[in-house]
Amino acid sequence: MSKEQPNNPLHGIKLATILEELYVEFGWEELGYALNIKAFLNNPTYKSSLKFLRTTPWAREKVEQFYIKNMIRK
């Protein structure tokens, strides 16, 4: 049973997709400085960054808001 979320701009977009698009557009270093997330600055990989975001709610929220601000409105 899926619940509709008409006001959620991230509805239907996976965290993995968000991370991949941000990485391609900005790179790890720029993401790390823009979001103040050290995990993106200290030898990051796609897999480790995804795991970090899945287990760290404050970081995931920052990434999602950054994505909405910089990618959805393009």
Output the domain CATH number for residue 55: 1.10.720.30
**Is the pLDDT score of 4 beyond 80?**
no
Total structural domains within the chain: 1
DSSP three-state, residue 26: helix
Residue 9 lies inside a defined structural domain of this protein: no
Q: For the ranges 23-27, 55-59, 68-72, which has the lowest average pLDDT?
A: 68-72
Residue 62 lies inside a defined structural domain of this protein: yes
**Is the pLDDT score of 5 beyond 80?**
no
Rounded to whole angstroms, the Cα distance separating 50 from 38 reads: 14
Give residue 25's domain range: 15-72
Give residue 3's identity as a one-letter amino acid code: K
Confidence of residue 26 (pLDDT cuts 50, 70, 90): very high
Confidence of residue 27 (pLDDT cuts 50, 70, 90): very high
